[in-house]
Amino acid sequence: MIPVPTPQIASDESPWKEECGVSGVFCLDGAAAAPLVHVALYALQHRGQESAGIAAEAAGHMTLHRGMGLVAQVFDQERIARLPGHVAVGHVRYATMGSVSLENAGPCVTPSRWGPVAISHNGNLINAPALRRQLEGEGVSFAGTTDTEVIAHLIAREPVGDVEDAIAACMHRVEGAYTVAACAAGRLYAFRDAHGIRPLMIGRGPSFWTVASETCAFDHTGAEAVCEVEPGQLVTLDAAGMRTRQVLPLRRRAHCVFEFIYFARPDTVLRQRNVHQARRRMGRVLAREHPVAADIVIAMPDSGTSAAMGYAEGAGLPFEVGLIKNRYIGRTFIQPDQASRDFGVRLKLNPNVEVIAGRRLVVVDDSIVRGTTSARIIRLLRSAGAREVHLRISSPPIRHACFYGIDTSSRGELIASRLEVEAIRRFIGAETLGYLSQDGLVEAVGLERDTLCMACLDGRYPTRIPTEAEAGRTALDTFVPAPAGARQ
């Protein structure tokens, strides 16, 4: 199958870049696992749209297919039928470490003494360059520039008796955020970093075990959520059932709060909390913290919809559909000047003039990263006749870089790290601007603050703080390998 070319992505079009989604299936009745993984990847497509792949194992032989583009572009029924085996793992990717290329698409398959090992990974390792330097010094050759490949080679080279022990040894060596679905030696494995920064869930179907980044993937396969993989835990799934091993001690649970704010699909359940309802509560708290005289509430589709519903409820205002999203454009525009950038926004978002004209609007969005997209949308609403535009954000200001699987490892690109709220308001051109407070966010999510990673908001990182050279998107693309024969 010919890979679909990756669309060009405007650097400032989307405020947040999703990370990756992982899935895995072990069929108890010997049926093919790849069709179930395929269905799960559709449910996880929002977590990565650059590439997709599935690796399936049958009798010690691994078959891998991956390609650039969406799941529907990479796979068809004929291709799925050529992925035999009762155990399989899948991946959808947005590049947060390593370039956008076929070599970096997941899953990553590596030979080992136990047979091929397939790895699907969501997160970022903050010591990937150092580990790669060590491995290359030992003679390992790398095909791509991802931290996923680092994990795969670490497991494959561990001088231990079985795959489970090799994974446990790897977990002791890697630092940062990682949730991994792996298959090897006829079993399915799932493991997670000591802080549980990214989500990883376990489900059970009528005749299969499954793991996925989000519970919404289970709904599509007919599975029911059983539990989450706990921080620092390794889970093994095979014909004997589910076995857990606490490899790393829990230092501080630090679940990424932006999974609740933006990343996860609204129908997903995280930490026993429905994501849509959590976002709705964010909107209600936001209305309490930042009331304003207005006529209607509209959402930035689709990420602001749940919070906008909550704001309307809390403020006692009508919730209207003011912006219509074109779902068929894709991220295909490089916008060289202001006129064409505004045109790109118009192609993706069309104002509902009869709703907007002459009215005072509360516009609810999930976040402001660079501020450029917000400014364009406010101009768009004014051109449609909005009398006033009051922007409300269902997250606190993002002032710090993220090194755990989100493409904001450079603090300089964050407008709130440079400007105060009033200056941001002037830049985007709104009448008023209100952010949800950190305390309000914690209240809405309903979890203890100390169990959440809010580092991009408060600068309190659960791990050591890496440099951008260690954990930025290009950390391995600009990597300088160790001299031949060198050992670190």
Mean pLDDT across the stretch 182-190? 97
The domain of 172 spans 20-254
* For range 159-186, the mean pLDDT: 96
Please indicate, yes or no, if residue 398 is contained in any of the structural domains.
yes
Coil, strand or helix at 102: helix
In a domain, 482, yes or no: no
The verdict on residue 158 lying in a domain is yes
Q: Are residues 221 and 287 in the same domain?
A: no
pLDDT at 354: 97
CA distances 314 to 54, 291, 317, 411, 446, Å, are 44, 9, 8, 33, 18
Higher pLDDT, 38 or 405: 38
Question: What percentage of the chain has pLDDT greater than the value 90?
Answer: 79
pLDDT averaged over every residue in the chain: 89
Last residue of a domain, one of 220, 254, 288: 254
pLDDT of 485 over the 60 cut: no
Residues 6+ apart with CB under 8 A from 138: 157, 487
Angle at the Cα of 424 from the Cα atoms of 421 and 379, rounded to 5 degrees: 135
- Judged by average pLDDT, the poorest of 110-124, 192-206, 406-420 is 406-420
Q: Is the model more confident about 481 or about 115? A: 115
Specify whether 225 is located in the same domain as 306: no
How far apart are the C-alpha atoms of 199 and 210, rounded to whole Å?
A: 14
Statement to judge: residues 234 and 165 lie in one domain: yes
For residue 165, whether the previous peptide bond is cis, meaning omega lies within 30 degrees of 0, is: no
Please tell me the pTM assigned to this model. 0.89
Residue 15 banded pLDDT, cuts 50, 70, 90: very low
Please tell me the least confidently modeled range out of 101-105, 277-281, 466-470: 466-470
Give the single-character DSSP code of 310: H
**Same domain, yes or no: 316 and 185:** no
Q: Is 154 inside any structural domain?
A: yes
| Most confident listed range (99-103, 104-108, 125-129, 278-282) | 278-282
Tell me if 396 is assigned to some domain: yes
Between 115-119, 368-372, 409-413, the lowest mean confidence (pLDDT) is in 409-413
Separation CA 375–CA 41 (nearest Å): 34
Is the same domain home to 329 and 236? no
Claim to verify: residue 283 and residue 375 sit in the same structural domain? yes
Give every CB contact of residue 295 below 8 A, 6+ residues apart in sequence: 317, 318, 359, 360, 361
In DSSP terms, which residues pair with 187 in a beta bridge? 184
Last residue of a domain, one of 204, 223, 254: 254
Q: In this structure, are 191 and 100 located in the same domain?
A: yes
Q: Is 57 helix (H, G, I), strand (E, B) or coil?
A: strand
Residue 131 lies in a domain: yes
Strand, coil or helix: what is 289?
helix
The CATH number that applies at residue 67 is: 3.60.20.10
For residues 254 and 231, what is the distance between their CA atoms, to the nearest angstrom?
Answer: 9
Predicted local distance difference test score (pLDDT) of residue 326: 85
Whichever domain contains 298, its CATH number is 3.40.50.2020
pLDDT score for 338: 47
Summarised one tens digit per residue, pLDDT across range 220-236 is 999 999 999 999 999 99
Distance between CA atoms of 241 and 244, rounded to whole angstroms? Answer: 10
Q: Which residue has the higher pLDDT, 375 or 250?
A: 375
Using DSSP's 3-state secondary structure scheme, residue 154 falls into helix
Same domain, 168 and 44: yes
What is the DSSP annotation of 240-284? TEEEEEE-S--S---EETHIIIIIS-TT-EETTEEHHHHHHHHHH
Judge if 280 and 250 occupy the same domain: no
Count of domains in the chain? 2
Whole-number pLDDT of residue 478 = 62
Residues 221 and 285 in one domain: no
For residue 484, the model assigns a pLDDT of 40
Q: Residue 183's pLDDT is what? A: 97
Q: What is the pLDDT of residue 330?
A: 53
Task: Quote the pLDDT of residue 391.
Answer: 98
pLDDT at residue 100 in the model: 86
| Confidence tier at 339 by pLDDT (50, 70, 90) | low
The pLDDT of residue 412 is: 67
Q: Under DSSP, is residue 364 helix (H, G, I), strand (E, B) or coil?
A: strand
Q: Band of the pLDDT at 469, cuts 50, 70, 90?
A: confident
Question: Looking at the structure, do residues 56 and 138 belong to the same domain, yes or no?
Answer: yes
Q: pLDDT at residue 54 above 50?
A: yes
Rounded-to-integer distance, Cα 61 and Cα 95, Å:
28
278 lies in a domain? yes
Mean predicted confidence (pLDDT) in 195-209: 97
Task: State mean pLDDT over 360-387.
Answer: 95
Report yes or no on 10 lying in a domain: no
Q: How far apart are CA 283 and CA 309, in angstroms?
A: 7
Position 411 scores a pLDDT of: 64
The phi and psi torsions of 117 (rounded to 5 degrees) equal -115, 130
Catalytic residues: 20
Pairing of strands 224-228, 273-274: unpaired
- Are 250 and 280 contained in the same domain? no
Domain boundary, last residue among 254, 289, 318: 254
